[in-house]
Amino acid sequence: MLFPTVEFAIFFPVVLALSWLLMPRQKLWKPYIIIASYVFYAAANPKFCLLLAGITLGNQAAAKLIAAAGTERRRKWITGVAVGLDLALLGVFKYYAFFVQDWADLLDSFHLGAPLPLLTIALPIGVSFFTFQAITYVVDVKRGDAEPASTTDVAIYLSFFPHLVAGPIVRASEFLPQLKAPRDPNKVAVGAGLALVGLGVIKKVLIADYLARVLVDPVFAVPQAYAAPDALLAAYGYAVQIYCDFSGYTDIAIGLALLMGFIFPQNFNRPYRATGFRDFWRRWHMTLSRFLRDYLYIPLGGSRGSRLFTYRNLMITMILGGLWHGAAWTFVLWGAFQGAALVTEHALDGRVGRRTPVWLRWFLTFNLVTFAWILFRSQNLGLFWDYLGRFFVSGPATLYTLPVLLAIIVVIGMQLLPERPMERLQVRLEQLNPALLAVMLAATILVVGATVPSQGVPPFIYFQF
């Protein structure tokens, strides 16, 4: 079920009202919210509910075993097996077709047959997100950052519909404590919730989908049909599209959770005002960044060693982070590019970094990030090279329309404005009377909804990851 759809507009008010009605009676509320979340998930494909339930039960069993284990060695061993199984499951669903084809091609070059059947496996929506959340639960329990929770609470944590399909990746230690007692019915950030839902709808439907339709999709599908000016515009257009699409989803998810009394971590913080790649990753998909940092980079050794050791860890972390986005060499290379940029930044730190003006650091970072998005968006490496080739082809600018230019300039420009006044503006909006905000949200949905083509709202980009 997509957030900005008629189906969800019927689902959510009913679920919200019943949720608050049952909230004081936790024995009723907990099974209720699990059922509601599974209904939400089943709308995509009922069969995948079994996978979600399996991951829940498997990781809960592991957490209980870890808590009961007498020795650190045993705890480590159980955690390793649980995380390994989670990753194996993710690997089968997400990467089987990718690796089996490459593996078969390699064996074929030695005239050996394919050892595994060449099959495609349907990717369960959200699997990358709830698998990672399951890993944080098991690891947090092992580290002592979280207590093993009841199976019901773990089921809620992994299936809670606002974050189920595309995050933000909420840690067990952040979410499970919120289930210990009923949410306070007198402490609901209604204004913030409504404002975020409205903002998310505008970002996704009005900006991201519009740019995709009129600019990004045509150019990336057939770069051969466009010259340098259009290729350049589409690259910036995609930078804006992916930001609005994903942060729009996150805004809606966080907003819905707030209306239900739950708090999710922030996932975006004006990423295009970053003045370096470290800064960028502290602002872009923040919950993935900290997952990679805390559950991969630091366990690999982090920066506790020689420079080369740190660089190796950075590269491994970012390449795997790239691969997390999808089974394609473009994602692997995108991750490698991010890793190389971080390594370069690390190497230049102190010497060049401090002497470079802030505006130049911003300019370089923004344009390199945008360049990397071309790799991220390209269907395959061949098309990536085709796309780059268009930068050297002169020709007319055919896609420069006022709405397109406005969308790109406004979204990037808003991120460059001073933070304080923008925050104050947002807080003021959130403090308005909820009834007034509700009318404003309804008007926003009506206007934005009228811009949706008859084919409906396309899925969020991150649903495929």
286: its two tokens: 């923040």
Select from 153, 137, 122 the least CA-distant residue to 50. 122
**Smallest distance, other proteins to C-beta of residue 400, A:** 18
Chain position carrying tokens 């309804």 = 442
Residue 46 buriedness (CB in 10 A; 0-12 / 13-18 / 19+): exposed
DSSP assignment of 87-103 equals: HHHHHHHHHHHHHHHHH
Q: Catalytic residue, from 111, 163, 285, 325: name it.
A: 325
d(CA 342, CA 388): 23
**Smallest distance, other proteins to C-beta of residue 464, A:** 11
* Coil, helix or strand at residue 121: coil
**Smallest distance, other proteins to C-beta of residue 124, A:** 10
Chain position carrying tokens 């339930």 = 53
- By CB under 8 A, tell whether 315 contacts other proteins: no
- By CB under 8 A, tell whether 23 contacts other proteins: yes
Of the pair 150, 379, the CB lying nearest other proteins is at 379
Q: Are 196 and 254 in contact (CB under 8 A)?
A: yes
Q: Are 41 and 164 in contact (CB under 8 A)?
A: yes
| Interface positions, 122-141, toward other proteins (CB under 8 A) | 122-123
- By CB under 8 A, tell whether 6 contacts other proteins: yes
| Interface positions, 88-117, toward other proteins (CB under 8 A) | 97, 101, 104-105, 108, 114
Stretch that binds other proteins, among 13-21, 71-79, 153-161, 299-307 (CB under 8 A): 13-21
Stretch that binds other proteins, among 14-22, 66-74, 334-342, 350-358 (CB under 8 A): 14-22
Q: Which residue from 35, 50, 118, 397 is in contact with other proteins, where contact means CB under 8 A?
A: 118
* Coil, helix or strand at residue 150: coil
| Interface positions, 27-66, toward other proteins (CB under 8 A) | 43
Q: Which residue from 222, 360, 409, 414 is in contact with other proteins, where contact means CB under 8 A?
A: 222
- By CB under 8 A, tell whether 447 contacts other proteins: yes
Q: Are 22 and 261 in contact (CB under 8 A)?
A: no
Strands, E assignment, 261-327: none
- CB < 8 Å & 24+ apart, contacts of 72-75: 75/142
Stretch that binds other proteins, among 135-143, 190-198, 293-301, 337-345 (CB under 8 A): 190-198
Of the pair 228, 300, the CB lying nearest other proteins is at 228
- By CB under 8 A, tell whether 9 contacts other proteins: yes
Q: Which residue from 3, 12, 373, 384 is in contact with other proteins, where contact means CB under 8 A?
A: 12
Stretch that binds other proteins, among 157-165, 257-265, 347-355, 410-418 (CB under 8 A): 257-265
What x-and-dash track marks residues 336-375 binding other proteins by CB under 8 A?
----------------------------------------
- By CB under 8 A, tell whether 181 contacts other proteins: no
- By CB under 8 A, tell whether 453 contacts other proteins: yes
Of the pair 397, 439, the CB lying nearest other proteins is at 439
**Smallest distance, other proteins to C-beta of residue 261, A:** 7
Q: Are 288 and 169 in contact (CB under 8 A)?
A: yes
Q: Are 281 and 289 in contact (CB under 8 A)?
A: yes
DSSP assignment of 250-265 equals: HHHHHHHHHHTT----
- By CB under 8 A, tell whether 175 contacts other proteins: no
Select from 453, 15, 367, 378 the least CA-distant residue to 223. 378
415 C-beta neighbours (distance < 10 Å), count: 19
Annotated catalytic, 325? yes
Catalytically annotated residues: 325
